[in-house]
């Protein structure tokens, strides 16, 4: 961090705080910045000081200007940091999923095949040559039915910790904030997007909650073992076959 940012943080948060890199990345948020600015404004604003003390101190005006400048400097830093977070997230997302995107005709084949067979008990035919997730691979391998695949996806979503619960556990949101988000959330709007729209969370907070949510995300194979559709040994065997399938698919797409 630059010396100017450290001086601005010291003006708002005091000299006892350790202004390390972790402070600017993890602790410094819009909510914390506004809270610190309000506290300093109550102590340095000329009008407030004159009304409480009975007289005005010329030094308080310059102190308030310094506090205001420090606030604006840190606010601009947070804005640039969140923009950089969004750009890195988008770049990472594009790199991760560009390899998995299929051409239009392959996607049409996949969708039409699914729609004509989703009412049947199982798939019979050659395994399609595209990148697959585990449940999808089991279905096209004829090991599970379409209904079982849907049930496993529903189970995986049901046992996943909710975004609001994790944000509350991390003390990023209070119960009142969570209730406000639910009341103001638009149709099909993600919880994190609604929280950012209402200025209750920033992009870094949302990514942190999503990372924690991913940690507790149960693998879909656990469902098949619990339902006694396969043993743990069979699960590892099918996972190895899936990895070979996806590796072969990616190698062929690169060759073409």
Place of tokens 């049901």: 158
Q: Both 86 and 154 in a single domain?
A: no
CA pair distance 203, 182, nearest whole angstrom: 19
Contact between residue 89 and residue 207 where contact means Cβ atoms under 8 Å apart? yes
Q: Both 140 and 218 in a single domain?
A: yes
Question: What pLDDT, on a 0 to 100 scale, did the predictor assign at position 134?
Answer: 92
Question: What pLDDT, on a 0 to 100 scale, did the predictor assign at position 30?
Answer: 79
Q: Both 160 and 77 in a single domain?
A: no
Q: Both 79 and 136 in a single domain?
A: no
pTM over 0.85: no
**64: helix, coil or strand?**
helix
Residue 118 lies in a domain: no
Q: Examine the fold and report which residue of 31, 65, 94 is the final residue of a domain before the chain moves on.
A: 94
CATH number of 22's domain: 1.10.287
Residue 119 lies in a domain: no
Q: Both 183 and 246 in a single domain?
A: yes
Q: Both 154 and 240 in a single domain?
A: yes
Q: Both 219 and 148 in a single domain?
A: yes
CA angle 199, 158, 174 (to 5 degrees): 30
Residue 173 lies in a domain: yes
Q: Both 52 and 137 in a single domain?
A: no
Q: Both 85 and 145 in a single domain?
A: no
Question: What pLDDT, on a 0 to 100 scale, did the predictor assign at position 107?
Answer: 46
Q: Both 84 and 184 in a single domain?
A: no
Q: What is the pLDDT along the chain (256 residues), one digit of tens a residue?
A: 577 888 888 888 876 666 676 666 667 777 888 888 888 888 887 776 665 445 555 556 788 888 888 888 888 888 887 777 667 656 655 555 554 444 444 445 455 545 554 445 677 778 888 888 899 899 888 888 888 888 888 888 888 888 888 888 888 899 899 899 989 988 888 888 899 999 999 888 888 888 888 777 788 999 999 999 999 999 999 999 999 998 888 877 666 5
Residue 167 lies in a domain: yes
Domain span at residue 189 reads: 131-255
Residues near 20 by beta carbon (within 8 Å), at least 6 away in sequence: none
Residue 80 lies in a domain: yes
Residues near 149 by beta carbon (within 8 Å), at least 6 away in sequence: 135, 136, 138, 139
Q: Examine the fold and report which residue of 65, 94, 123 is the final residue of a domain before the chain moves on.
A: 94
Residue 99 lies in a domain: no
CA pair distance 85, 74, nearest whole angstrom: 16
Q: Both 179 and 236 in a single domain?
A: yes
Q: Both 143 and 190 in a single domain?
A: yes
Q: Examine the fold and report which residue of 94, 123, 140 is the final residue of a domain before the chain moves on.
A: 94
CA pair distance 184, 34, nearest whole angstrom: 23
Q: How many domains does the chain have?
A: 2
Question: What pLDDT, on a 0 to 100 scale, did the predictor assign at position 120?
Answer: 52
The CA–CA distances, whole Å, from 237 to 45, 76, 152, 244, 248 equal: 69, 52, 19, 11, 17
Residue 61 lies in a domain: yes
Residue 54 lies in a domain: yes
């Amino acid at each position: 961090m630059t010396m100017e940012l450290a001086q601005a943080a010291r003006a708002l948060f005091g000299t006892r705080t350790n202004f390390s890199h972790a402070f600017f990345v993890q602790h410094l948020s819009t909510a914390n910045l506004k809270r610190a600015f309000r506290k300093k404004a109550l102590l340095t604003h000329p009008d407030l000081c004159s009304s409480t003390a009975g007289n005005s101190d010329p030094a308080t005006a310059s102190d308030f200007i310094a506090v205001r400048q420090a606030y604006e400097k840190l606010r601009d830093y947070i804005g640039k940091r969140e923009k950089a977070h969004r750009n890195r997230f988008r770049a990472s997302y594009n790199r991760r999923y560009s390899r998995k995107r299929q051409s239009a005709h392959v996607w049409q084949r996949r969708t039409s095949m699914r729609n004509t067979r989703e009412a049947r008990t199982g798939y019979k035919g050659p395994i399609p040559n595209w990148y697959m997730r585990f449940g999808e691979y089991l279905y096209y391998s004829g090991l599970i039915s379409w209904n079982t695949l849907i049930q496993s996806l529903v189970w995986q979503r049901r046992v996943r910790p909710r975004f609001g619960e994790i944000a509350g556990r991390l003390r990023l949101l209070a119960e009142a904030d969570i209730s406000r988000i639910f009341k103001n959330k638009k149709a099909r709007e993600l919880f994190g997007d609604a929280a950012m729209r209402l200025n209750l969370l920033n992009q870094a907070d949302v990514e942190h909650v999503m990372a924690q949510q991913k940690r507790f995300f149960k693998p879909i194979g656990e469902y098949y073992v619990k339902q006694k559709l396969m043993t743990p040994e069979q699960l590892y065997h099918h996972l190895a076959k899936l990895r070979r399938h996806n590796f072969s698919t990616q190698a062929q797409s690169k060759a073409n």
